[in-house]
Amino acid sequence: MKGMFFLGKGSLEVRDLGDAAPGPGEVRVRVRACGVCGTDVHIYHGEKGSAEVTPPVVLGHEFAGVVDQVGEGVSSLRVGDPVTIDPNIYCGKCHFCRIGKKQLCESLRAVGVNRNGGFAETCICPESQCLLLGPKVPFEHGAMAEPLACCIHGIDRAGIRVGDSVCVLGGGSIGLMMVQLAVLAGASAVVLSEPMERQRGIGLALGAAIAVDPTREDLGDRIRETLGTDGVDVVIECVGKLSVTKQAFDIAKRGAAVLLFSVPKPDAVYGLEMMQVFQKELTILGSFVNPDTHARAVALIDSGRIRLEPLITHRYPLDRVEDAIRMQMSGESVKVLVMP
């Protein structure tokens, strides 16, 4: 069995995984599809992931596949079961785990970050991290359960109320899932801000009321013209650029919530306009990983109420993970998958 190992900044290599068997409480999953995440891009460039990374390690934390071997004591899974993986493993003992904020776990570990993940033919996973997929769900959709689960946590944090207006900044795969989740949460209108024409078209097809090219139009003006309000109730920022962060605060109307969802550069610093926060009485929110939302993501995928196929634009074999990472960084792609 082969895996694509991350060896350090900008270095990947296919290596033999051997034929390791799962230990007690573990299963071996034959990987069918694994998404390339912004976190993989950051790690590839030598930046920090959701947890500490110590090479050599197989990256890839957004994946789905088939159980092909079970370890001692495994009771909820059988060989042949289709599964998606919740990669984040919490200690359950630290202060944050004990107060119901396990996403902030002091000893967070993650499959595909600091233990071998899905950029491989097989992956050994704890039974507790595997969730069954519906029998008709494509593995490519199952691989997107993890980013969808992160988006659900973000939507929970944003606190969208029925009838709220929402603006999503950025029409990548995350932004396009956020558009759909905002609609499902009861938003009266969802505005998508995205410079790429294809992504704007997808956003409109997935429920956005309007899609604005912020390089050609003034986003605030379009919101005023279309919604008749000076801003929106909830802003969801999914880009990670400081210019877009500024835009998020500018289009937030009085009393709005601003969710800074994107993964920024480690050294990114934004000069917050304190008077703007004070006068508008803004709520500023962050969102980290997917505590207790992976099962909800699977339920949404199984139900067919979230559309994922329009988001998948490129597929690569295992030996071209580096090409897949570069494509995910480009403006040509929405979501890139590796198909081991």
DSSP character for 311?
G
Joined together, the tokens standing for residue 94 give 């630290």
Residue 68's pLDDT is 97
Listed in order, the ranges of the chain carrying CATH 3.40.50.720 are 151-286
Q: Distance between terminal CA atoms of the chain?
A: 10
Quick one: average pLDDT of 223-244? 97
The confidence band for 153, taking pLDDT boundaries of 50, 70 and 90, is: very high
The answer, yes or no, to whether residue 19 has pLDDT greater than 90, is no
Quick one: average pLDDT of 150-166? 98
Quick one: average pLDDT of 244-264? 97
Rounded distance between C-alpha atoms, residue 5 and residue 189, angstroms: 44
> pLDDT of 113-122, one tens digit each?
999 999 999 9
SS3 call for 297: helix
The answer, yes or no, to whether the previous bond of 56 is cis (omega within 30 of 0) is yes
Residue 23's pLDDT is 97
Contact of 38 with 263, CB cutoff 8 Å: yes
Sign of CA dihedral 219, 220, 222, 227: positive
Identify the CATH class of 151-286: alpha beta
Rounded distance between C-alpha atoms, residue 251 and residue 290, angstroms: 27
> pLDDT of 191-200, one tens digit each?
999 999 999 9
Instruction: Write out the E strands in the chain.
Output: 2-8, 11-16, 26-35, 57-58, 62-70, 82-85, 88-89, 109-110, 122-126, 130-132, 165-169, 189-193, 210-212, 232-237, 252-260, 283-286, 312-316, 335-338
> pLDDT of 87-103, one tens digit each?
999 999 999 999 999 99
Residue 266's pLDDT is 84
Listed in order, the ranges of the chain carrying CATH 3.90.180.10 are 2-144+308-338
How many other C-beta atoms are found inside a 10 Å radius of the C-beta of residue 93? Answer: 10
Residue 51's pLDDT is 79
The answer, yes or no, to whether residue 43 has pLDDT greater than 80, is yes
The answer, yes or no, to whether residue 49 has pLDDT greater than 80, is no
The confidence band for 40, taking pLDDT boundaries of 50, 70 and 90, is: very high
The answer, yes or no, to whether residue 50 has pLDDT greater than 90, is no
What backbone phi and psi angles, to 5 degrees, belong to 105? -45, 135
> pLDDT of 165-211, one tens digit each?
999 999 999 999 999 999 999 999 999 999 999 999 999 999 999 99
The CA–CA distances, whole Å, from 127 to 62, 142, 296 equal: 16, 17, 18
Which is nearest to 326 in space by CA: 45, 2, 22?
Answer: 45
% of residues, the chain, pLDDT over 90:
96
Average pLDDT, the chain: 97
Which is nearest to 157 in space by CA: 190, 129, 182?
Answer: 182
CATH 3.90.180.10, applies to 2-144+308-338: yes
% of residues, the chain, pLDDT over 70:
100
Residue 52's pLDDT is 85
The answer, yes or no, to whether residue 29 has pLDDT greater than 90, is yes
